[in-house]
Structure formats: structure tokens, C-alpha cells
Chain A
Amino acid sequence: MTSRERPLSPHLQIYKWQITMALSILHRMTGVALVVGALLLSYWLTSAAYGPEAFNLAHGLFGTILGRLVLLGLTFSLFYHLGNGVRHLFWDVGMGFEMPNLRASGIAVVVFAVVFTLLTWSAAYIVRGG
């Protein structure tokens, strides 16, 4: 079957950006980030099985500025993907599709993710003792 090249939907250069589509692609991006997080989790767990040297090396890497930035990004990704995932589960049972609800739940998920990321890191620094 031959057909002319036609623009596919969604055509991002033409559509006006809206919160719903921005949050949708963010769900996918945080999902990909969390795949990296899963690999790091695997590295962390496995390092402990190899003994204190391997474990301390892993902790040293996670403790660098770059390591902490990655973990901070992963914390936000986790809470965002979790919150928005729950939003998806409500859609799956047919709830929350009305436009005002979609926008409100989207904003709620972003607020949830930011607040819980800050709470987690504040708690971590308190536990560590400054």
C-alpha cells in the first residue's frame, strides 16, 4: 500500500502546548528516568552483596554532587510518575475525564511531586545530621 507522506497526529509544532499534553509526555520521560533508577537500584543492591568495598564505592558515587543531582531527579521522577500513574488508574475506571478535573488533577500531581521530593530530601538531610 502506497500513500503520500502525511503529518501524523499529534503534530507538536502546530498544537498549542497545554498542561495535559505536557504532563502526558512528562509521565513517559519520568518513566524512562526511572528505568535508569531501577538499574541504579540493582547496582546498589548488588554492590552490598559483594562486600563493604563495593558498597562504599557505590555510596561514594551516589554521594558526589552529580550523584545527588541524579538521585534528586529520580526522587521527583518517582513521585511524579507515581502520582500521575494513580491519575491514570482513575481514568482506567472512567473517572476524572472532564476538562476542569483533568487540569486540577494534573496540577495536584505536580504539587504532590514537588512537595514530596522536598519533604524526602529535607528528611534525609535531617537524618544525616545537616
Chain B
Amino acid sequence: MQYRSSLSKARGLGSAKEGIEHWWVLRLTALALVPLSLWFAFSVVTLVGGDYETYRAWAGEHGNAMLLVLLVICLFHHAQLGVQVIIEDYVHHEGIKVASIIATKFTAVFFGASSVAAVLRITFGG
């Protein structure tokens, strides 16, 4: 049995070009999430016991609003890429696999957008 693909099949086609993108963005978002999630954990601790107005004042502050938006975008982007890896590892039926990945991406965008819209609404006093 021939295990290696013949060179003639690969030659001239170049690299897959986008193969590295998923791996790279997973690392980039991971790196961004290190300070963002530590900031978030610290902030939640300071908010414990606070009421609605305390929360609004905190989330409406410009720096906090910006960091919340960055956190949510990086978090859902990273989560979506991570879940895709798990699906590709365990789901072997091609149709179910593609459908699951599409569902994952749509879900992540939906909840990410909902979170960003919520932060903006509080910031701009909706």
C-alpha cells in the first residue's frame, strides 16, 4: 500500500494558504483573552453585592465598555474556533460535521452580537 501521496499530485498547487489561519487566530484570541479575562474576573469581584445602578455605572464607563466589547468578541471568536476543533475530532459524518460547525458559528455570532448590543445600549443610555 502506498502511504505517501505522489509528489506529482502536490507539486505546483502551492500550500493550502488558509490552513494556518484557524490555528493562528485561536492563539491570537487566547493571548488577548489572558489580560481581558483576568480584568473581567477582578471587575466582577468588585461588583459583587452591587445593584443595577452600580452595574450600569460600571458598564457605561468608556474604558469598561470598550474592554467588555473586546472581551466578548475575543471570547466568542475563541470559543467558536475551539468548539470547531472538538467537532472535527469527534464527528465523523461529513454532513453532520459541517452542519454542527455552521450552527456553532451562527450561535457564537448571535450571542456575541447580543452582548455587544447590550453593552452599547447601556453606554449610550438606551
Q: Which residues of A contact B (CB under 8 A)?
A: 28, 31-32, 34-35, 38-39, 41-42, 45-46, 48-49, 52, 55-56, 75, 78, 82, 85-86, 88-89, 92, 120, 123-125, 127-129
**Known contacts A56-B52, A120-B45: does B118 contact A38 (CB below 8 Å)?**
no
Given contacts A45-B68, A82-B34, A85-B34, 7 further A-B contacts (CB under 8 A): A38-B75, A38-B76, A42-B112, A56-B52, A89-B27, A92-B27, A127-B45
**Known contacts A34-B79, A35-B79, A38-B79: does B118 contact A48 (CB below 8 Å)?**
yes
Count of CB-CB pairs between chains A and B under 8 Å: 80
- B117–A49 touching, CB < 8 Å: yes
Return B69 CB to nearest CB of chain A, in Å.
10
Interface of A is mostly: helix
Q: How many residues of B contact A (CB 8 A)?
A: 35
* Residue of A38, A86, A92 ringed by the most chain B CB atoms within 10 A: A38
> B67-112: which residues lie under 8 A (CB-CB) from chain A?
68, 72, 75-76, 79, 82-83, 86, 111-112
Return B87 CB to nearest CB of chain A, in Å.
11
A128 to B45, CA, bound (A): 9
A34 to B59, CA, bound (A): 22
A88 to B86, CA, bound (A): 17
- A49–B126 touching, CB < 8 Å: yes
| B40-53 vs A, Cβ < 8 Å mask (1 yes, 0 no) | 01001110110010
Residues of B within 8 A of A125 (CB): 48
5 contacts between A and B (CB under 8 A): A31-B86, A41-B115, A42-B111, A46-B118, A123-B45
- B111–A39 touching, CB < 8 Å: yes
A12 to B85, CA, bound (A): 20
- B86–A45 touching, CB < 8 Å: no
A38 to B68, CA, bound (A): 12
- A45–B37 touching, CB < 8 Å: no
B66 within 8 A of A: no
**Known contacts A38-B79, A89-B31: does B49 contact A75 (CB below 8 Å)?**
no
Chain A's closest residue to B107 (CB) is A39
Return B100 CB to nearest CB of chain A, in Å.
13
